[in-house]
Amino acid sequence: MANIAQVSRLSGAGQGLLSIMIEQNPILRVAEFKLDPSTYQNYPDSLASSGSAARGEGDAIQSDAQAPIGVSKNLALYGRQITIDDVRKLDQNITGSPTGLKLIRQRRQRSLAKLLATEVCDDMTAGTDANDRMLGLTTLIKDANAAGQTAALGFTTAQQAAMLTQAAMTLDTDAHQNDFMELLDKEIQKVPGANALLMNGNLWARMNTIARRLHSLGQSIDQFGVPVATYNNIPMIPVTTTGIPSTEDDGVAQTNTSLYIVRFAEDLGTAFSTNSGFYFQDFPDDDVNPDAKSRLQFFLNLAVDATDAVRRLSRIKLA
């Protein structure tokens, strides 16, 4: 298991910027990252088996020949660059100190770090797999039957459609909420080892209310030492309404949202392939060009290894 800090291998200023990103984007605290090259292979688990594993003494062991088929995928590139003209550097001729320049650099880096992290985290769920953006969970599992899916990561459209449950429920009354929570419990069982429930902040607030009423709201401490609300011991992770909208269309109204049940794991789970984690290049102290530069970048894309590693519950209304 590897988190974003472990794969990024940062120190100093870069480590501080990543801490800001992690603090303000809860999905970064639970997501699994695995090291892969810029062009990597995704091998979905397509186990072919027959018969029973039970056998008598001296009998032949059941043989299940496998022929895994990998699908090639490229990392998506996200980056922001900051430039500061030398005119700011030369202010120290008047002030006698580079403190002002350092403050400008730090503030710009922190601001762009937050902006970059928000875009990357939004695309973890909403990425369109087009126009240089990564593949997001919403695009992998569309709110549609097999004919409306787009094959990705080596899964068939039928497999992708099977990862979807159209809840078609409104969480307005206690009775409706109870019905939804019963459905959620059933769906969680289809993702063995589920360790995250992803939803937007609006649904997250409603889920907290429901779980509190049902005495199933808990709290744990994530791997970065931050408290996180849980439902039946599974962390509930809020994302923005850009990442998971509250305006999804069910063919009748654009007032729906979705919830994702995820098993984040490097093997046979859901993860994000990367060759760098967060890649940071600071301003060089001895820069002689008119514009000193600092770069903040992520190179990553979605990797899902099994059909039971993630499920989408769509068509959820709050009112």
Structure tokens at 203: 């649904």
**3-state secondary structure (DSSP) of residue 52:** coil
- Sheet of strand 291-304, all strands in order from the earlier edge strand to the far edge: 33-35, 270-281, 291-304, 76-85
Distance CA 23, CA 30 (A): 12
User: Does 64 have pLDDT greater than 80?
Assistant: no
Residue tagged 């800001």 (tokens):
20
How do residues 209-258 score in pLDDT, each as one tens digit? 999 999 999 999 999 999 999 999 999 999 999 999 999 999 999 999 99
Prediction pTM value: 0.91
Q: In this structure, what are the phi and psi dihedrals at residue 69, rounded to the nearest 5 degrees?
A: -120, 120
Domains of the chain as residue ranges with CATH: 169-268+307-317 (3.30.2320)
User: At 50, is the pLDDT very low, low, confident or very high (cuts 50, 70, 90)?
Assistant: confident
Distance CA 209, CA 231 (A): 11
